[in-house]
Amino acid sequence: MDNVTHALHGLALYALAATDPSLAHDPTAMSAVLWAASLGSQAPDFDFVVRLIGGEIAYLKHHRGITHSLPAWLLWPTFLSLLLWPFFPDHFGLLWWWSFLGVIVHVGLDLLTTYGTVAFWPLSKRRYGWDVLMIVDVVLWAIGAIGIYLWWLDVSPERVLWYTIGPAILYLALRTAIQLYLRRQVRQLYRAAGTKIGRVSVIPFLGVFRWNLVVEREGTFELGTAHLRKGVSIQNAYPRHDEEARLVELERSQVYQVFRWFARHLFLEVVRDERGHLRAELADLAFGFRDRLPLMAQITLDAEGNVIEEKLIRKPDKFRKNDKINKNHDAR
């Protein structure tokens, strides 16, 4: 999730602490909670320093990585508590607990996005993303704004939580139910057509009715939308190339290694020019929208297989039209 949403959940934890009379009547304790919850809610994203030191490729590899993992759930609260302890010497336990809750809620929200996180490392190296929320969700922003306004009106912490946490939980439950329902509908649709498919991703988009869709079939990736009222529509299909012989050469590229680990639906286009140079374009179709693929990479190797150039392309205007199979039909 974005840092605004994480800041709002830190404030929600502060409001939760204020429902405890023993804390609410202790200004120093409440100040400790505010600092702990606020920093804990942001701490896992302190991995932004990787971008400053190692650049975009390293950031793609490590963002939402070890800083969100199981050990980090305990290390971040310990680090933050030691950092704040000199200012609140009588409240180390309080600092640890509320910063821990901030970290846990942060990781939990990130798990609900498509980008996901390796939250369960070292038990699992897999990046989990549950496709419930977009990175920025204006509904959660609005709920948080309501909470801040109620707090400004001096409404009791209990009522603030009732009018914010309750609707937020119901909203998340609704989105989860819709996502699971649409995923089931897509599989039933293809099964009824007698078409064998592999992995299916129903990916959040603006609102709750329309979701982006990626379906893996033999030889193709199909991209379209799954709509709660209008059904399933496939707009584009990208070829799935068998490039196993060439993948050995690409293993020398750091970008390729990162994409193979990171990308859920990896599109790979490889061509060799008259000089023997190999050029590969990669994209994670999970982030595709119509003919736009905002997360791409390009790799160029010389005739000996040495990497000449490798780079990320964050927001290309459009993917090359001759790389996709034109397909526009309803799959209802």
298: left (phi over 0), alpha (psi -120 to 50) or beta: beta
Give the three-class secondary structure for 208: coil
Q: What is the pLDDT of residue 319?
A: 52
| Percent of the chain surpassing pLDDT 90 | 62
Q: What is the pLDDT of residue 316?
A: 57
Give me the torsion for CA of 291, 254, 54, 83, rounded to 10°: 90
Is residue 172 predicted with pLDDT exceeding 60?
Answer: yes
| Domain residue ranges of the chain, discontinuous segments joined by + | 3-176, 241-325
Give the three-class secondary structure for 275: coil
Is residue 246 predicted with pLDDT exceeding 60?
Answer: no
Give the three-class secondary structure for 276: coil
Give the three-class secondary structure for 286: helix
Beta-bridged to residue 312, according to DSSP, are: 297
What is the longest distance spanned by two Cα atoms in the chain?
Answer: 77
Q: What is the pTM of this model?
A: 0.88
DSSP per-residue letters across 97-151 = HHHHHHHHHHHHHHHTBSS-B-TTTTT--PPB---SB-SS-HHHHHHHHHHHHHH
For 68-86, how does the pLDDT look when each residue is reduced to its tens digit (9 = 90+)?
999 999 999 999 999 999 9
